[in-house]
Structure 1
Amino acid sequence: MRDTFVKTLIDIAKKDRNVHLVTGDLGFGVLKPFWEQLPDQFTNAGIAEQNMIGFAAGMAMEGKTVFAYSIGNFSTLRALEQIRNDCAYHNADVKVVCVGGGFAYGALGMSHHATEDLSIMRALPDVTVLAPGDSIEAEWATKAIYECKGTCYLRLGRGGEKRIHDKTGNFQIGKAVKIKDGERIVIFSTGAIFDEVSRAFEILRKEEIDPALYTFPTVKPIDMQTIEECSRKFKLIVTVEEHNILGGFGSAVSEVVAELTGMKAKVLRIGLNDKYSSIVGSQKYLRDIYGMSAEKIAAKVFECQKDVL
């Protein structure tokens, strides 16, 4: 995803000299093509993410569209006051980019695990929040936030994610993308965890369970129409996110379902169960430990559907 982001941003920046990329002293292997081709549109702010966001806000106030890029929590939680007060409050054209959502930097420990970022960023008024599931969605999302005025948050995987889509399509901020139709159960996914969801789907098919699949590249504004339609059509909605289940994607879906009247689906949220990811290990290992591997997703769906269907 990050390579696709940089490639897409280069194409955008070559056409718009007001686009500027600022980084917090990282991503040199990935960002090198940008600064080599567009050195006057690139700034390394150093290991000073709060200053980086303040700097980005100042440039945005002078007419620039600024992409502020860093690892996981560094571009968000470390600089939260600056995002809130300097960017979002003033509707500044700053695009905060996190590379390595969830457990992507698993071996570096809890400080590098981005597991609260979606909930915190979606709580800020006037901030658009996107979490693409593959490289195609990352391309769509990068173009979309460039065109979207105001402060946006883009949460990327670290790279190597399974491709969901064969070609680009009609992408809209705030719209989910149907991957396949199914019966009785629908699985909603956001971000790079779709790798596990797609394998969980294959496991469930062997048990003669045929869920529908949707990916939600946009967490805020959430696609209320799709959620409502699925809540009427299916018995069980399953949300999967590489993130705390409190306040994040699953909560956004549940908020919509809770306000519906009449018959509606039960919601099963799969993610990190309100705890810090204190264990160190690879992303795949941590997903399994915390119940987000394909096998554990499938097992949770299988158990829950017995009580609902």
Structure 2
Amino acid sequence: MRMQLCDSLLARSSNPEMVFLTGDLGFMALEPIQAAMGGRFINAGIAEQNMVSVAAGLAKQNFEVWVYSIAPFIYARPFEQIRNDIAFHNLPVKLIGNGGGYGYGVMGPTHHAIDDYGSLLTLPNMSVYVPVFDEDVGAVIERAGGSSRPAYIRMGRGEHPKGYNVPLYAPWRQLTHGKGAVVIAVGPLAGTYIDAFLHIPIESRPNLWAVSELPIDLTPPPDSLLNQINASSVLCVAEEHVRHGGFGSDLLLYLAGLGVSPQTFVHLYARAHNFGRYGSQRFMRLQSKLDVDSMLSALNRSVHG
């Protein structure tokens, strides 16, 4: 999604009040932004805490501020500065983290961002955007840029099947239609299940939904999804995030407030930071049972017992 990000930010860069900061990352992708913005493109170096505090100061002076790094370096390393300098003052700084989830899988647990949006959503005023497809990035940048709230944008890699007609961006989208279980996946992970679900007969095909914006109370699920949850015997949530503080628990709390109680709840999530072996994002998802076969097995067990 980095090229789409570059194009989207480049389209905004004529605004003289826009400033872009990077933590010495983004090479071979963001050079067009640097060329267009000149001195408003700031390489803050490997000093993320300082970079976030500088971003907060610029936002306080009414600049439009975007901050970029790989995901673990944009939320974990400067968490105190995000909390104290951005969130507590409700400053509209936009934090862009590339490689969310197990995106940097082979580099090990220091580079895994599987507790990112859960951690940041504990802070006041924070919004989170998780684009599902490459085609979503432009809409996400526009929506985040037009918001007065601080935001975290979790970037990944669009993974829809070849030939799939990507629906227009929305915080909630139904990607497959059937008469089976309801499955909700966060961000790009949703795209990995589309092809397998489309090969299931419609009588048992899951209704697959993708969610791209959090927290839920800012962009509530549509009535059509709530009706499906009420009518289905199984609700499954899949997220490349640890269980505690993730979307699954937040969704259940939200549904409980509406008096909606799924008959059977299945949760697929990032199982651990530390594994004996590390590999690609696909390999790491397999270790956490977030892969397609694990999803199909979990649904089969929940439906047939």
Same fold (TM over 0.5): yes
**Structure 1 position 38, deviation (Å):** 1.7
- Kept after mapping to 2: 8 A contact 1:199/1:294: no
Map residues 264-283 of structure 1 onto 2, 5 A cutoff.
264-273=262-271, 275-278=272-275, 279-283=277-281
Q: Does 1:95 align with 2:91?
A: no
The AA in structure 2 aligned to 1:178 is: Q
Q: For residue 4 of structure 2, what is the aligned residue in structure 1?
A: 4
Residues 167-191 of structure 1: CA deviation (Å, up to 9, x unaligned): 67364xxx31122332141111111
C-alpha separation between the residues in 2 aligned to 1:202 and 1:168? 15
Q: For residue 32 of structure 1, what is the aligned residue in structure 2?
A: 31
Matched residues, number: 300
The AA in structure 1 aligned to 2:112 is: H
Residues 53-84 of structure 1: CA deviation (Å, up to 9, x unaligned): 10100000001111111112110011111111
Q: For residue 194 of structure 1, what is the aligned residue in structure 2?
A: 190
Task: Give the direction of change, closer, same or farther, for the CA distance of 1:259–1:127 in structure 2 (3 Å limit).
Answer: same
Task: Give the direction of change, closer, same or farther, for the CA distance of 1:168–1:294 in structure 2 (3 Å limit).
Answer: closer
The AA in structure 1 aligned to 2:8 is: T
**Structure 1 position 165, deviation (Å):** 7.2
Map residues 108-147 of structure 1 onto 2, 5 A cutoff.
108-147=107-146
Q: For residue 65 of structure 1, what is the aligned residue in structure 2?
A: 64
Give the superposed CA RMSD.
2.1
Q: For residue 211 of structure 2, what is the aligned residue in structure 1?
A: 216
Q: For residue 22 of structure 1, what is the aligned residue in structure 2?
A: 21
Q: Does 1:290 align with 2:285?
A: no
**Structure 1 position 202, deviation (Å):** 4.1
Secondary structure, aligned partner of 2:118: helix
Map residues 134-283 of structure 1 onto 2, 5 A cutoff.
134-157=133-156, 159=157, 161-162=159-160, 166=165, 169=168, 171=170, 175-202=171-198, 205=200, 209-222=204-217, 223-226=219-222, 228-261=226-259, 264-273=262-271, 275-278=272-275, 279-283=277-281
C-alpha separation between the residues in 1 aligned to 2:187 and 2:274? 18
- Kept after mapping to 1: 8 A contact 2:127/2:215: yes
Residues 251-272 of structure 1: CA deviation (Å, up to 9, x unaligned): 2212112333266443211111
Calculate percent identity across the aligned residue pairs. Answer: 28
Of the structure 1 ranges 187-196 and 3-12, higher mean CA displacement relative to structure 2 is found in 187-196
C-alpha separation between the residues in 2 aligned to 1:253 and 1:26? 34
Secondary structure, aligned partner of 1:195: helix
Which residues of structure 2 form unaligned runs of 5+?
Answer: none
- Kept after mapping to 1: 8 A contact 2:229/2:235: yes
Task: Give the direction of change, closer, same or farther, for the CA distance of 1:54–1:287 in structure 2 (3 Å limit).
Answer: same
Task: Give the direction of change, closer, same or farther, for the CA distance of 1:212–1:133 in structure 2 (3 Å limit).
Answer: same
Task: Give the direction of change, closer, same or farther, for the CA distance of 1:84–1:230 in structure 2 (3 Å limit).
Answer: farther
Task: Give the direction of change, closer, same or farther, for the CA distance of 1:74–1:270 in structure 2 (3 Å limit).
Answer: same
Task: Give the direction of change, closer, same or farther, for the CA distance of 1:258–1:88 in structure 2 (3 Å limit).
Answer: same
Runs of 4+ in 1 over 6 A off after TM superposition: none
C-alpha separation between the residues in 2 aligned to 1:161 and 1:45? 32
TM-score between both structures, scaled by the size of structure 1: 0.90
